[in-house]
Structure 1
Amino acid sequence: MRILCSSTLIGEALLIMFAGLVAMKLTDVGAGTIWTVSAVAMVLCVLLCGVITRPGAVYVGWALQVAVLASGLVLPTMYAFGLVFGGLWWCSVHYGRRIDEIKARRAAAEESAPAVPATA
């Protein structure tokens, strides 16, 4: 789960950076406000990559997805990107957990299997 979720979050941090650049030109919101909000969201994305396996981190990721979707109030294209990244986040969490379960079952099966002697 860690790799899939981290990949989604890094992509989202880049999206937020580029959205901030576009928002500076297309909206009446001040550049300082845009970059303050964008910087906080980008830092949250990067920090969340490091703690994604801890309890509650996935919920923080969901809150971040809602915030990206809500940024459509300032830049309407973010509604579409928010939906796309929300879907990516769901896939990353859902399939990441399934992959982790498969890996755990495989590791348990390997531990319980008898060792095969090597032949010369």
Structure 2
Amino acid sequence: MRTLCASTLIGEVFIIGFAGLVAMKDPGLSTATVWTVSGIAMFLCVALCGMVTRPGGVALGWALQIALVASGLVVPTMFVLGVAFAALWWASVHYGRKIDEAKARFAAQAAASTPDAA
């Protein structure tokens, strides 16, 4: 699960950076505000890559997905991209867990079929 979720989060780092560039064109937003918010969001994505398998990591990921969709209020294209990445996040969590379960099952079968060396 960790690899799939981390891949999605790293993709989001780039999307957030590009959305920051688009948001800078808004005359109502200062450059400092745009890059402070974008920088914090990008940092959270990278930090969450290492926390995704810990308790609450997936929930934090969902909170980040909601924030990404909500950023469509500033950059309307982010509604579409946010929903797309939320779907990728769901798929990463869902299929990542299935892969982890399959790996554990295969490891248990391999351990059961290998005679002890003792």
**TM-score category, normalised to shorter length:** over 0.9
Query: What SS does structure 1 have at the residue aligned with 2:25?
Result: helix
Q: CA deviation at 1:26?
A: 4.0
Question: Which AA in structure 2 matches 1:108?
Answer: A
Partner of 2:81 in structure 1?
81
Partner of 1:25 in structure 2?
25
Partner of 2:102 in structure 1?
102
In structure 2, how many angstroms separate the alpha carbons of the residues matched to 1:27 and 1:81? 23
Off by >2 Å, runs of 4+ in structure 1: none
Query: What SS does structure 2 have at the residue aligned with 1:25?
Result: coil
In structure 1, how many angstroms separate the alpha carbons of the residues matched to 2:49 and 2:15? 16
* Identity over aligned pairs, percent: 61
User: Is contact 1:69–1:78 with CA below 8 Å preserved after alignment?
Assistant: yes
Q: CA deviation at 1:25?
A: 1.5
Q: How many residues align?
A: 115
Residue deviations 1:44-74, cap 9 Å, x none?
Answer: 0000001111010000000000000000111
In structure 1, how many angstroms separate the alpha carbons of the residues matched to 2:4 and 2:81? 18
Partner of 2:11 in structure 1?
11
In structure 1, how many angstroms separate the alpha carbons of the residues matched to 2:88 and 2:41? 17
Partner of 1:53 in structure 2?
53
In structure 1, how many angstroms separate the alpha carbons of the residues matched to 2:91 and 2:39? 25
RMSD between superposed Cα atoms in Å: 0.9
Structure 1: runs of 5 or more not aligned:
116-120
Q: Could you state the TM-score of these two structures normalised by the residue count of structure 2? A: 0.94
Structure 2: runs of 5 or more not aligned:
none
Larger Rg: 1
In structure 1, how many angstroms separate the alpha carbons of the residues matched to 2:111 and 2:88? 34
